[in-house]
């Protein structure tokens, strides 16, 4: 009881007088990156658990989450103002993103000597409840990887991974009943490339998809550090431009042929592709898929292995059915498709401060 009340104290104190993560507004992209991705500080207690959660992968970097702290639990709720109805009409990616955040929180809790159990409350609109309790401080290699992980949308170096590394990342990605299918045969990777290209082409021809995507692109550093969300040009390996100019140039530089060549280069330079398949297609399953992917990405980071999502075939309904059949998934749907391999990092993406995503209990 005494140990339990200590934990209550930690979180309750924090909830009462929360410090902000970015006390000052960063003036350059580099400064923002230093602030956002600074190492976790266990001495800051619950603050760092929420900050760790916000550093997770999330679709379009919309950061679609709100956090509530109460005694011995943290609840993550969807921020429905940050939905992406064109690419994600049923909120699959939104709940997978909450799963990614939950997994970072679970790993960071271990660093603070807290055990975490995750329950999905499917009552509309759904939430993820993480109950915390004291335990011994355990190995926290995955927690240390939280501030070094990224989705690296670049060409990799083409080298194969050892079977030991493949087994290690596959095990990390097999969590809560989620299957992590690893594909390394070149002929199967080419077949998946074909689905990615078909999906990408369908999306580029969809005005609603393009309008939504463009609204989340931060075309230059000034906008990226003002908003602290979305897809920063730098973190996608693109040059920064004034927004008005970038919008005009987009249809000339963002062409179907150019994108096809880019994805072919990206997949052919990768060591393999991982497909995450949850046991059931509901909010709990989507959260589980997100958790499994995030743990996979953290484990890969500890081994110096990069990853990037290629979700076009799961986002376009007719292709989702086709690729599920190709992969022999029966009634299950593929949740996330991720390439991996070795290569250099790109500039990291940004995040809003903890103070912007917390609600009073
Ligand atoms: C559910 C989900 C779906 C995603 N889909 C894609 C995708 O199709 N293509 C892509 O390039 N990145 C995708 N991402 C990666 C996000 O864009 C990325 O996590 C976000 O921009 C933040 O960047 P970071 O992970 O490097 O911090 C996805 C991430 C999640 C969690």
Residue 295 CA, ligand 1 centroid: distance in Å: 14
As its CATH architecture, domain 2-149 has 3-Layer(aba) Sandwich (3.40)
Question: What percentage of residues in the chain have a pLDDT greater than 90?
Answer: 85
CA distance 49 to 69: 10
Q: At 310, is the secondary structure helix, strand, or coil? A: coil
Atom of ligand 1 nearest to the CA of 297: 25
CATH code of 163-341, in short, is 3.40.109.10
Domains 2-149 and 163-341 share a fold: yes
Atom of ligand 1 nearest to the CA of 348: 26
**Of 21, 309, 269, which Cα lies nearest the Cα of 150?**
309
End-to-end C-alpha distance for the chain, whole angstroms: 22
Q: Which two tokens stand for residue 25?
A: 């507004």
CA distance 315 to 29: 31
Q: Respond yes or no on whether the N-terminal peptide bond of residue 166 is cis (omega within 30° of 0).
A: no
- Averaged over 64-79, what is the pLDDT? 96
> What pLDDT score does 360 carry?
83
Q: By the 8 A CB rule, do 72 and 97 touch?
A: no
CA distance 234 to 315: 24
Provide the residue ranges of all domains of the chain, joining segments of one domain with +. Answer: 2-149, 163-341
CA distance 175 to 290: 10
Residue 97 CA, ligand 1 centroid: distance in Å: 9
pLDDT digits (tens, 9 = 90+) for 132-149: 999 987 778 999 999 999
pLDDT digits (tens, 9 = 90+) for 215-237: 999 999 999 999 999 999 999 88
Atom of ligand 1 nearest to the CA of 100: 31
Residue 308 CA, ligand 1 centroid: distance in Å: 7
Q: By the 8 A CB rule, do 60 and 309 touch?
A: no
Our mutation pick for probing the ligand 1 site, out of 151, 235, 254, 323, counting the most ligand atoms within 8 A of Cβ, is 151
């Amino acid at each position: 009881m005494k140990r339990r009340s200590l934990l209550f104290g930690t979180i309750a104190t924090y909830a009462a007088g929360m410090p902000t993560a970015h006390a000052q507004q960063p003036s350059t992209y580099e400064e923002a990156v230093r602030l956002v991705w600074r190492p976790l500080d266990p001495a800051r207690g619950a603050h760092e658990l929420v900050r760790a959660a916000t550093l997770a992968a999330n679709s379009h970097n919309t950061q679609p989450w709100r956090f509530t702290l109460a005694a011995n639990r943290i609840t993550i709720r969807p921020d429905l103002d940050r939905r992406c109805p064109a690419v994600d009409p049923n909120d699959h990616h939104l709940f997978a993103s909450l799963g990614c955040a939950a997994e970072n929180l679970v790993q960071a809790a271990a660093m603070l000597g807290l055990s975490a159990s995750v329950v999905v409350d499917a009552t509309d609109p759904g939430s993820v409840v993480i109950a915390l309790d004291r335990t011994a401080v355990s190995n926290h290699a995955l927690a240390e990887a939280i501030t070094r992980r990224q989705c690296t949308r670049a060409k990799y170096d083409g080298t194969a991974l050892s079977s030991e590394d493949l087994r290690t990342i596959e095990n990390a990605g097999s969590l809560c009943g989620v299957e992590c299918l690893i594909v390394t045969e070149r002929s199967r990777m080419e077949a998946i490339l074909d689905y990615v290209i078909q999906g990408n082409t369908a999306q580029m021809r969809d005005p609603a998809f393009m309008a939504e995507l463009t609204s989340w692109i931060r075309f230059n550093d000034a906008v990226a550090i003002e908003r602290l969300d979305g897809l920063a040009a730098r973190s996608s390996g693109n040059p920064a431009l004034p927004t008005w100019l970038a919008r005009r140039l987009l249809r000339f530089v963002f062409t179907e042929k150019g994108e096809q060549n880019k994805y072919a280069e990206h997949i052919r330079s990768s060591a393999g592709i991982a497909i995450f398949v949850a046991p059931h297609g509901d909010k709990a399953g989507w959260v589980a898929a997100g958790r499994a992917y995030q743990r996979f990405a953290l484990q890969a980071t500890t081994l110096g292995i990069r990853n990037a999502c290629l979700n076009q075939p799961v986002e376009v309904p007719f292709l989702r059915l086709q690729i599920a059949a190709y992969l022999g998934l029966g009634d299950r749907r593929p949740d996330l498709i991720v390439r991996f391999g070795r290569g250099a990092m790109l500039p990291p993406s940004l995040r809003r401060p903890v103070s912007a995503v917390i609600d009073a209990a």
